[in-house]
Amino acid sequence: MRNGGPAARIAVLPGDGIGKEVTPESVKVIRAATMSARRPLEFVELDWGADKYLREGVTLPAGAVEMLRDEFDAILFGALGDPRVPGNQHAADILLGLRFKLDLYVNARPVELFHNRLTPLRDRKEEDVKFMVFRENTEGLYVGVGGFFKKDTADEIAVQEDVNSRKGVERIIRHAFDYARKQGLKRVCMSDKSNAMTFAHDLWQRVFKEVRQEYTDIESRHLYIDTLAMEVVRDPRQFDVIVTCNLFGDIISDLGAQLAGGLGLAPSGNIHPGKTSLFEPVHGSAPNIAGKGIANPLGSVLTSAMMLEFLGWKQEAEKLRAATRAALRENFVTPDLGGDRKTMEVGDWIAARVG
């Protein structure tokens, strides 16, 4: 497929709510940045989300995983979540389904302050808030193992299992160290709650102690998750790379996002190195602002930069980041960042810059 065909095939999955507003802006921006390439990128849009689910009862269509795995290089994802779908079954099936079934074990969520004024921390500058969160993305409390006993009675019991495999823990910890080494970063912090979660996180402790011995050039440290949350706020300069389990990574990455300007700016990649991977902003479908045309598209644009880098378009990725930096500097931004621009205006502005 790749010989003489498009440089890469990208499945575009806008999803629900503001996912449908920010994702087209990203496609526009990527098209502009890669326009002059000899072999352009190919985009194929997929309409999976709440509307389709409510219409047809379909969440993740049959054969979807195989199609994405075999026919696409990357997936650009918006967000899933709709108030009309109680429990958001479609989001679990599609988003968690793809993370698990494509075995996207690395959830990379960089925290980077692009402009001083965007952090709620007093006296912190750009260089003070810059670290990577690696969230384990295929197991932990997210696997959906559990059940109810005596449901809907006064004696009800609900059980949710925390599933941690030796292989799963090792590969994400190893990835964190490899990334640090490759990027010339000096410090890796593993975070768990092994003082209370004495089985699951004891495994994290043992694997961490073993793997760190192979990376003596890197300073490694452990913090319990509650302490990490505190330390990241007290002095974010301490951190280069953080690695943690699925649930804690979800929480600490939102905290990190806020230190760097909020959810409107935070990007992420769900990655299996060398395989079809999925890129999405950290934010959700934001039903409270959906349809108003004011969602910040920059989280999705920075997500697209991560995707381009994954696909080998490093220079173009850098263009997207530089344009985002410029928009923030010139305050050409949406209301969440104190501006008065619309989603599309910001998208057009970025596209014009990178084109």
Q: Which is nearer to ligand IPM, 192 or 250 (CB)?
A: 250
We find the least distance from the C-beta atom of residue 263 to Mn ion, in angstroms, to be 9
Residue from the set 286, 328, 333, 350 that interacts with ligand NAD by CB under 6 A: 286
41 and 6 Cβ atoms separated by less than 8 Å: yes
Stretch that binds ligand NAD, among 125-133, 213-221, 236-244, 294-302 (CB under 6 A): 294-302
Q: Which is nearer to ligand IPM, 64 or 351 (CB)?
A: 64
Give the C-alpha separation, 71 to 65, whole Å: 10
**Choice among 193, 240, 319, 336 that is catalytic:** 193
Q: Which residues bind ligand IPM (CB under 6 A)?
A: 91, 95, 250, 282, 284
Q: Which is nearer to ligand IPM, 12 or 91 (CB)?
A: 91
Give the C-alpha separation, 301 to 295, whole Å: 12
**Choice among 142, 179, 192, 319 that is catalytic:** 142
Nearest to 129 by CA among 265, 220, 246, 221: 265
Task: Give the contact letters, 232-271, x = binds to ligand NAD (CB under 6 A), - = no.
Answer: -------------------------------xx-------
Whether residue 130 lies in the annotated active site: no
Stretch that binds ligand NAD, among 49-57, 287-295, 312-320, 323-331 (CB under 6 A): 287-295
308 and 41 Cβ atoms separated by less than 8 Å: no
**Choice among 226, 275, 292, 340 that is catalytic:** 226
Q: Which is nearer to ligand IPM, 285 or 343 (CB)?
A: 285
Q: Going by C-beta distance under 8 Å and a sequence separation of 6 or more, which residues neighbour residue 79?
A: 15, 16, 17, 18, 19, 280, 281, 283, 284, 285, 286
What's CA 302's distance to the chain center, in Å? 10
Give the C-alpha separation, 296 to 284, whole Å: 12
We find the least distance from the C-beta atom of residue 347 to ligand NAD, in angstroms, to be 12
What's CA 37's distance to the chain center, in Å? 27
250 interacts with Mn ion by CB under 5 A: yes
We find the least distance from the C-beta atom of residue 325 to ligand NAD, in angstroms, to be 17
259 and 120 Cβ atoms separated by less than 8 Å: yes
Q: List the beta bridge partners of residue 43.
A: 10
Whether residue 52 lies in the annotated active site: no
Give the C-alpha separation, 296 to 294, whole Å: 6
**Choice among 105, 250, 319, 336 that is catalytic:** 250
Give the C-alpha separation, 232 to 163, whole Å: 27
Q: Going by C-beta distance under 8 Å and a sequence separation of 6 or more, which residues neighbour residue 198?
A: none
Look at the block and give the residue holding tokens 């602002």. Answer: 289
We find the least distance from the C-beta atom of residue 250 to Mn ion, in angstroms, to be 4
Whether residue 193 lies in the annotated active site: yes
Whether residue 20 lies in the annotated active site: no
Whether residue 151 lies in the annotated active site: no
23 and 283 Cβ atoms separated by less than 8 Å: no
Q: Going by C-beta distance under 8 Å and a sequence separation of 6 or more, which residues neighbour residue 113?
A: 119, 124, 125, 126, 128, 129, 130, 259, 260, 261
Task: Give the contact letters, 73-112, x = binds to ligand NAD (CB under 6 A), - = no.
Answer: ------xxx------x--x---x-----------------
Q: Going by C-beta distance under 8 Å and a sequence separation of 6 or more, which residues neighbour residue 152?
A: none
Stretch that binds ligand NAD, among 24-32, 42-50, 129-137, 295-303 (CB under 6 A): 295-303
- Contact residues for ligand NAD, defined by CB under 6 A: 18, 22, 79-81, 88, 91, 95, 263-264, 280, 283-289, 295-296, 299, 334, 336
Give residues in contact with Mn ion (CB under 5 A): 250
Which residues have a catalytic role annotated? Answer: 142, 193, 226, 250, 254
